[in-house]
């Protein structure tokens, strides 16, 4: 049976009625004084409850405080009087009639030396009833918060009577939990477990004994599965228990590294922690990193935005925001964040950052800005070859060939054997239509180790349109054709391909036809001989192109078959002894 005072004072119900009628509560402790030899119970604090209706929170707290005084002897608990709470609050600059946050309540409990206290939220329902959602708390350690059943009743006095009963039931676990904590501190772990078990027998849904077991398992370096099991038991009773969440978060993180099934639990636990402490930027960063590892960047973005808003000067958070925005392909947002980041923290502008910034501008279809970013990076990191290559490639892309060539010179001055830069120089000369310079640059590139197949391909890329123009030109010259053939031969020597064989065969076929025609007209044996030889070499090389270019090869071979007899005919006509060449 609950110990109740039997002094000659009003009953609890009469106290409640008097409080409502008078609009004021007792400012002193009305519990029966201790008799000689009796020991005062734990100090118990009833602060103002939180409520949208400020007066309701204050009124219900006062009624609950008086009810606890009425229901409990001092040997069970000593309820701290309202005047003592108000005095401490006002000394600290707080109002004695305002509800405090959970963190401030813990501080107040320490100041008034409360060993136990109730924390609660009061709501006035649409039907006029009152609901109190409360926890019983022990301020001596983190996570010692016992949820009590929600109470809904018509009047504050009814709420007070029922919550008093629930507090009495929940307090039965405290002795076992306290004994468990003491035994654990003395490293008497088996005894501690027995005390915890006793506390749970007294109150099946007890958080306090479970928290003792959890802290003890942590000290003993218990396996992750054990810590998770105990923490999840606590969270099943009190889902917002910060201490259990922090412990389980660490264990989920360890398990998630090898078991993806724990990844969702890890993120969910982090989000619960953040709900309880929404301004914790360290926690926000932890959640964003976890979401990023899980590929959930869209979920991460609003969290990191809020974190940066709360701590705009935090370089680590801004860098994380930069990475998240790039991951979700929000290029405009990423560019804004990135540019702002290096404006305030120049150290953030390392070579990797500028490469990423260039990529962001390109993804946002801003090639000119990408070139400017690459140039800024190259200016800051003057010996970085990757950034200089970006300047070269982007200047080429933007049609700024002289600037591209200047950047090539800078890079090759740093590293004369950079094959990529050497190939870029050849490509720039190609785009400038400087064939001789391109050829020289390609030879130099190959000498410093540029891939021969790439060099050969660059030649053919230039040759193709040039050959097309030359072959359609009615005033084509042999000199130009042989110049093209010379380039094709060089390409083929670097990397023999069907495309090079086709170009070579077609060029030699057309050159042969031109020489034979001119030789016949001029009755010039030397020209006729060169024409015949070109046609013969065309016949030799074209089969190499047949598999990849069957139609073009077949058509060219038909031309060869027609020119071969014609060439012999011209040779017989103009190369007989004593046949003079026709005057020009």
Write down the pLDDT at residue 8: 31
Cα(579)–Cα(74) distance, integer angstroms? 142
Taking the CA atoms of 402, 404, 408 and 409 in sequence, report the sign of the dihedral they define. Answer: positive
Calculate the alpha carbon distances from 83 to 79, 138, 194, 376 in Å: 12, 22, 40, 67
Q: Are 19 and 66 in contact (CB under 8 A)?
A: yes
Q: Would you tell me how many other CB atoms lie within 10 Å of the CB of residue 186?
A: 10
- Tell me: the pLDDT tens digits for 20-35? 433 444 566 677 788 8
- Tell me: the pLDDT tens digits for 252-268? 888 887 888 888 888 88
Task: State the Cα angle at 431 between 427 and 432, rounded to 5°.
Answer: 115
Cα(60)–Cα(442) distance, integer angstroms? 89
- Tell me: the pLDDT tens digits for 512-527? 999 999 999 999 999 9
Residue 325 confidence (pLDDT) above 70:
yes
Write down the pLDDT at residue 310: 84
**How would you class 109 by CB atoms within 10 Å of its CB: exposed for 0-12, middle for 13-18, buried for 19 or more?**
buried
Residue 551 confidence (pLDDT) above 90:
yes
Cα(22)–Cα(413) distance, integer angstroms? 93
- Tell me: the pLDDT tens digits for 188-207? 999 999 999 999 999 999 99
Calculate the alpha carbon distances from 241 to 44, 208, 529 in Å: 21, 11, 98
Closest CA to 147 of 75, 211, 70, 58: 211
For the chain, the 3-state helix, strand and coil shares in percent, each to the nearest 5, are 70, 5, 25
Residues 6+ apart with CB under 8 A from 127: none
Residue 64 confidence (pLDDT) above 50:
yes
Cα(536)–Cα(56) distance, integer angstroms? 108
Q: Which CATH superfamily is domain 12-169 in?
A: TolB, N-terminal domain (3.40.50.10070)
Q: In degrees to the nearest 10, what's the CA dihedral of 240, 241, 246, 251?
A: -90
- Mean pLDDT, to the nearest integer, of 311-323? 87
- Mean pLDDT, to the nearest integer, of 331-335? 94
**Assessment of whether the complete model's pTM goes beyond 0.85:** no
- Tell me: the pLDDT tens digits for 218-242? 999 999 999 999 999 999 999 999 8
Phi, psi of 388 (to 5 degrees): -65, -40
- Percent pLDDT > 70 in the chain is 94
Write down the pLDDT at residue 283: 79
DSSP for 492-504?
HHHS--HHHHHHH
Q: Are 397 and 419 in contact (CB under 8 A)?
A: no
Write down the pLDDT at residue 63: 96
Instruction: Determine which helix (DSSP H) or strand (DSSP E) holds 124, and give its type and residue range.
Output: strand 116-124
Rounded to the nearest integer, the mean pLDDT of the chain is 89
Confidence class for position 582, pLDDT limits 50, 70, 90: low
- Tell me: the pLDDT tens digits for 139-185? 999 999 999 999 999 999 999 999 999 999 999 999 999 999 999 99
- Tell me: the pLDDT tens digits for 37-57? 889 999 999 999 999 999 999
- The number of CA neighbours under 13 Å toward the Cβ of 317 is 21
């Amino acid at each position: 049976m609950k110990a109740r005072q039997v002094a000659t004072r009003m009953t609890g119900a009469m106290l409640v009625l008097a409080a409502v009628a008078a609009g004021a509560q007792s400012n002193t402790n009305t519990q029966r004084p201790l008799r000689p030899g009796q020991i005062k119970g734990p100090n118990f604090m009833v602060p103002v409850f939180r409520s949208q209706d400020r007066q309701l929170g204050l009124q219900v707290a006062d009624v609950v405080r008086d009810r606890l005084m009425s229901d409990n002897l001092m040997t069970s608990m000593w309820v701290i009087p309202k005047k003592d709470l108000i005095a401490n609050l006002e000394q600290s600059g707080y109002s004695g009639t305002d509800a405090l946050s959970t963190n401030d309540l813990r501080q107040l409990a320490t100041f008034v030396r409360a060993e136990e206290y109730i924390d609660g939220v009061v709501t006035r329902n649409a039907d006029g009833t009152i609901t109190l959602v409360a926890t019983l708390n022990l301020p001596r350690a983190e996570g010692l918060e016992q949820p009590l059943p929600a109470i809904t009743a018509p009047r504050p006095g009814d709420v007070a009577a029922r919550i008093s009963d629930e507090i009495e039931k929940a307090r039965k676990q405290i002795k076992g939990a306290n004994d468990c904590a003491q035994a654990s501190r003395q490293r008497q772990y088996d005894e501690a477990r027995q005390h915890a078990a006793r506390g749970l027998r007294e109150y099946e849904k007890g958080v306090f004994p479970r928290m003792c077991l959890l802290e003890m398992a942590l000290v003993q370096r218990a396996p992750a599965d054990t810590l998770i099991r105990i923490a999840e038991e606590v969270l099943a009773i009190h889902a917002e228990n910060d201490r259990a969440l922090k412990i389980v978060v660490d264990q989920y993180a360890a398990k998630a590294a090898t078991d993806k099934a724990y990844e969702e639990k890890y993120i969910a636990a982090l989000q619960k922690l953040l709900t309880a402490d929404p301004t914790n930027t360290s926690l926000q960063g932890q959640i964003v990193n976890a979401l990023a590892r899980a590929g959930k960047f869209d979920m991460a973005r609003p969290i990191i935005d809020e974190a940066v808003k709360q701590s705009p000067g935090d370089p680590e958070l801004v860098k994380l925001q930069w990475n998240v925005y790039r991951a979700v392909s929000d290029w405009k947002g990423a560019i804004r964040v990135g540019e702002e980041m290096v404006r305030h923290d120049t150290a953030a502008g390392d070579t990797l950052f500028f490469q990423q910034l260039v990529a962001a501008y390109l993804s946002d279809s801003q090639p000119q800005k990408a070139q400017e970013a690459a140039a800024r990076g190259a200016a800051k990191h003057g010996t970085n070859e990757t950034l200089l290559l970006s300047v070269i490639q982007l200047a080429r892309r933007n049609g700024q060939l002289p600037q591209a060539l200047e950047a090539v010179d800078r890079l090759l001055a740093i590293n004369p054997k950079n094959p990529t830069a050497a190939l870029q120089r050849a490509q720039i000369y190609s785009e400038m239509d400087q064939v001789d310079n391109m050829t020289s640059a390609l030879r130099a590139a190959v000498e410093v180790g540029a891939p021969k197949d790439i060099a050969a391909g660059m030649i053919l890329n230039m040759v193709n349109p040039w050959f097309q123009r030359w072959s359609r030109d009615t005033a084509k010259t042999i000199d130009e054709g042989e110049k093209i053939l010379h380039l094709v031969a060089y390409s083929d020597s670097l990397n023999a391909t069907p495309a090079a064989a086709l170009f070579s065969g077609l060029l030699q076929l057309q050159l042969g036809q031109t020489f034979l025609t001119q030789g016949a007209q001029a009755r010039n044996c030397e020209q006729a001989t060169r024409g015949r030889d070109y046609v013969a070499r065309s016949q030799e090389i074209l089969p190499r192109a047949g598999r990849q270019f069957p139609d073009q090869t077949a058509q060219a071979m038909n031309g060869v078959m027609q020119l071969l007899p014609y060439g012999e005919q011209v040779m017989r006509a103009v190369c007989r002894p004593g046949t003079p060449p026709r005057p020009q």
